[in-house]
């Protein structure tokens, strides 16, 4: 199996300890769906942004498919951020064209199909979309690329149950063996069954990195219970 | 296929047991084609690798067989299916016997109770 | 190169409403001034001076557009996540702005000719003292290059401000860098080319050393010296910005 996202002794210092990271190392493989779990401010978003190339580590290295994060790695990394990836003048179809212009691995047919599946109207102005609809648009765009690394930052943050189901369906449907999909979330129970492995982040450090079935087998606990237990210690 | 999961137990074991039960009750018949990993993953909203593992374990136990290029099928070996039945019955019995012992019944009493219960059921069934 | 064109397309789309609105308002104001003499009997000379000075507004707006577009792109996810080198992000607003800056003098020339025709006045856009082809070319180069250099320096300051890891300190570092660059450039300029910032008036004198007239000579060694110096500084700033963009700039 080939390594997709690798962090080696990554630290990130901020003036406050929020979002900071301390000596984080892990290696995520192709074909895996990985949950990056932690509370708000634990540093999971910092990891996602570093992998996407939006933030630089204070020390340590981050590489995607063996290339240090930079312009080249962005071509194989599909990030669904917590902030709009679109520009206010755009309509949904302009956002699709934007992706087509800049990402050579973008599949427009897949995007159109998925937007229809998600009930997102292509003629809608992106600024007029509700939070839930905007999340659906961004997820559709992110998953319509044939990337090596998918980073979904809190993809089910503010959406209703129906949308959550659709999002989980979409993730499972478009999953591929050659790529690694990382989902950061603090809502564990809703999606723990789609994970292969989970990485727990607490106060900027990795406290557990384990296969989910191993957690269930070893501790007789669900990932959510293990997560609560780990967080209760702090 | 719809099923409820207990997140405290390994999911692949739960799916395995579920499929075995379906074979026993005849919802899945010998020689039936089984959904692909992707189909089942989407249907159950479960990680595809977990489904993959389920199938691997079922294959190892001889319950499912892969036909090259065609997909996966429930085995046609009656003996294998019989042995699943026995295995599952064994689990039920174990639990039953342990429970009865905890209630203070002797082996002899347990047998009597079971045979009475069975004939009672038969009577009711024939009425 | 293809990437540059794509980025320019999106920079244009992002600004096109604001740009078109501004152009329309400016055109209406200038048209009003054009006919103010015949309609309202305003003094043609004074109005001409006002409307000429008014052209400073679009010039500064172009610079503002360039800097604002660049700053917005630095902190926009849509631009930071695409696999395009930072160099094109810097170049795109510069190229778009340059096209506008180069077109503007011709607009001004056209406007003046129109003004003369409508009001029957006889204004010479090209001042008699700079009215030689080489001086006109030099004036245009000075005009264009000064603004471009200014914009690059502002872009550089913005980039620097965004690269400082302590967020509150960023803007101050940027502002300080801007003034330091300006001072250092003019200091070196003085040192190397003895450029005192005047317009190189060359006095024509008679045999008794009395000044008859001043002749401006824009096309001279100092001009080229300063331009080359600034070009070198601009290239260094551009290179540093690309490095910072690809490696350091924080969102």
Residues B107 and B59 reside in one and the same domain? no
Contact A180, A213 (CB under 8 A): no
Residues B70 and B95 reside in one and the same domain? no
The HSE-up count of residue C100 (CA atoms within 13 Å, CB side) is: 26
pLDDT in tens, C127-177: 655 566 777 777 788 888 889 999 999 999 999 888 877 777 888 888 888
Count of CB contacts below 8 A, A vs C? 58
pLDDT in the model for residue C251: 67
Is A32 touching B (CB cutoff 8 A)?
A: yes
The rounded distance, in Å, linking the Cα atoms of C101 and C123 is 22
CATH number at residue B43: 1.10.10.10
Residues B67 and B120 reside in one and the same domain? no
Asked whether the beta carbons of residue C76 and residue A75 sit closer than 8 angstroms, the reply is no
Touch test A–B: 3 Cβ pairs or more under 8 Å: yes
B58, part of any domain: yes
Q: Which domains does chain A have, with CATH numbers?
A: 3-232 (3.40.50.300)
Ranges of chain A with pLDDT below 50:
none
Hey, where are the domains in chain C?
Answer: 1-125, 128-251
Predicted complex ipTM: 0.84
User: A10 has which bridge partners?
Assistant: A24
Residues B85 and B60 reside in one and the same domain? no
B118, part of any domain: yes
Which residues does C16 contact at the CB level (< 8 Å), separation at least 6?
A: none
Asked whether the beta carbons of residue C81 and residue A81 sit closer than 8 angstroms, the reply is yes
User: A211 has which bridge partners?
Assistant: A197
- CB-nearest partner of A168 from B6, B12, B45: B45
Residues B56 and B87 reside in one and the same domain? no
B5, part of any domain: no
- Report the gap between the CA of B33 and the closest CA in chain A (Å): 21
pLDDT in the model for residue C10: 92
Is A203 touching B (CB cutoff 8 A)?
A: no
B35, part of any domain: yes
pLDDT in the model for residue C215: 58
Give the chain A residue whose CA is nearest to the CA of C242.
Answer: A71
pLDDT in the model for residue C127: 60
φ and ψ of A17, to 5 deg: -75, -15
pLDDT in the model for residue C156: 92
Contacts of C82 in chain A (CB under 8 A): 74, 102-103
B111, part of any domain: yes
pLDDT in the model for residue A83: 78
- Angle at Cα C242 formed by Cα C241 and Cα C244, nearest 5°? 60
- Report the gap between the CA of A65 and the closest CA in chain B (Å): 21
pLDDT in tens, A199-212: 999 888 898 898 88
Asked whether the beta carbons of residue A86 and residue C80 sit closer than 8 angstroms, the reply is no
Mutate to test the interface with A, among B2, B38, B49, B53 (most CBs of A within 10 A): B49
Asked whether the beta carbons of residue B11 and residue A217 sit closer than 8 angstroms, the reply is no
The HSE-up count of residue A205 (CA atoms within 13 Å, CB side) is: 7
Is A84 touching B (CB cutoff 8 A)?
A: no
Question: What is the residue range of B21's domain?
Answer: 11-76
Residues B42 and B58 reside in one and the same domain? yes
Residues B68 and B88 reside in one and the same domain? no
B3, part of any domain: no
* Mean pLDDT for back-to-back runs of 10 residues, chain C (251 residues): 89 90 91 81 80 88 92 87 89 93 89 82 65 74 88 91 79 88 85 63 62 60 80 92 81 67
pLDDT in the model for residue A34: 93
Residues B16 and B61 reside in one and the same domain? yes
- Report the gap between the CA of B12 and the closest CA in chain A (Å): 8
pLDDT in the model for residue C129: 54
Domain total in chain B: 2
The rounded distance, in Å, linking the Cα atoms of C101 and C118 is 26
pLDDT in the model for residue A199: 93
Is A218 touching B (CB cutoff 8 A)?
A: no
Query: Hey, what are A11's tokens?
Result: 């630290």
Q: What percent of chain B has pLDDT over 70?
A: 96
Contacts of A70 in chain C (CB under 8 A): 246-247
Contacts of B38 in chain A (CB under 8 A): 173
For residues B59-75, average pLDDT: 85
């Amino acid at each position: 199996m080939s390594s997709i996202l690798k962090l080696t002794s990554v630290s990130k210092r901020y003036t406050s300890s929020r979002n900071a990271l301390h000596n984080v190392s892990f290696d995520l493989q192709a074909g895996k769906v990985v949950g990056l779990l932690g509370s708000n401010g634990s540093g999971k978003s910092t990891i996602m942004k570093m992998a996407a190339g939006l933030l630089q580590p204070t020390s340590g290295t981050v590489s995607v498919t063996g290339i240090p994060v930079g312009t080249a790695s962005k071509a194989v990394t599909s990030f669904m951020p917590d902030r709009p990836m679109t520009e206010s003048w755009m309509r949904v179809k302009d956002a699709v064209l934007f992706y087509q212009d800049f990402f050579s691995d973008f599949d427009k047919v897949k995007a159109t199909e998925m937007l229809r599946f998600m009930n997102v109207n292509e003629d809608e102005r992106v600024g007029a979309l509700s939070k839930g609809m905007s999340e659906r648009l961004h997820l559709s765009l992110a998953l319509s690329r044939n990337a090596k690394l998918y980073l979904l930052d809190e993809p089910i943050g503010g959406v209703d149950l129906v949308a959550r189901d659709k999002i989980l369906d979409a993730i499972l449907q478009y999953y591929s063996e050659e790529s690694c999909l990382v989902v950061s979330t603090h809502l564990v129970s809703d999606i723990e069954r789609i994970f292969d492995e989970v990485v727990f982040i607490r106060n900027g450090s990795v406290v557990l990195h384990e296969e989910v079935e191993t957690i269930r087998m070893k501790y007789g606990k669900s990932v959510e219970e293990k997560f609560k237990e780990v967080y209760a210690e702090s | 296929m719809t099923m409820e999961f207990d997140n405290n137990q390994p999911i692949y074991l739960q799916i395995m047991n579920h499929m075995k039960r379906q074979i026993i009750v005849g919802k899945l018949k010998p020689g039936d084609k089984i959904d692909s990993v992707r189909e089942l993953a989407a249907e159950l909203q479960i990680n595809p690798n977990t489904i993959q593992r389920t199938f691997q374990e079922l294959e190892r136990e001889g319950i499912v067989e892969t036909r090259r290029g065609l997909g996966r099928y429930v085995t046609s070996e009656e003996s294998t299916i019989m042995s699943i039945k026995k295995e599952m019955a064994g689990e039920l019995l174990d639990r039953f016997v342990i429970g009865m012992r905890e209630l203070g019944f002797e082996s002899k009493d347990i047998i009597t109770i079971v045979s009475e219960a069975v004939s009672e059921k038969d009577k009711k069934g024939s009425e | 190169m293809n990437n540059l064109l794509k980025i320019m397309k999106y920079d244009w789309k992002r600004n096109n409403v604001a740009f078109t609105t501004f152009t329309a308002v400016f055109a209406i104001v200038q048209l009003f001034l054009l006919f103010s003499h015949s309609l309202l009997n305003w003094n043609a000379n004074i109005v001409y001076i006002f409307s000429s000075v008014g052209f400073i507004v679009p010039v500064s707006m172009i610079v503002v557009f360039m800097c604002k577009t660049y700053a917005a792109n630095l902190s926009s996810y849509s631009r930071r996540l695409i696999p395009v080198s930072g160099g094109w992000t810097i170049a795109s607003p510069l190229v778009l702005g340059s096209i506008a800056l180069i077109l503007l003098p011709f607009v001004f020339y056209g406007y003046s000719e129109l003004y003369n025709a409508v009001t029957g006045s006889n204004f010479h856009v090209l001042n008699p003292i700079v009215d030689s082809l080489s001086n006109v070319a030099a004036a245009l180069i000075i005009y264009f290059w000064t603004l471009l250099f200014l914009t690059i320096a502002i872009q550089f300051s913005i980039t620097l401000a965004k690269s400082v890891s302590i967020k509150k300190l960023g803007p101050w570092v940027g502002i300080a860098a801007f003034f330091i660059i300006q001072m250092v450039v003019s200091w070196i300029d003085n040192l190397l080319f003895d450029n005192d910032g005047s317009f190189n008036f060359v006095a024509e004198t008679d045999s008794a050393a009395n000044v008859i007239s001043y002749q401006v000579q824009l096309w001279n060694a100092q001009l080229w010296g300063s331009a080359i110096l600034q070009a070198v500084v601009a290239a260094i700033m551009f290179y540093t910005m690309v490095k910072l963009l690809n490696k350091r700039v924080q969102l």
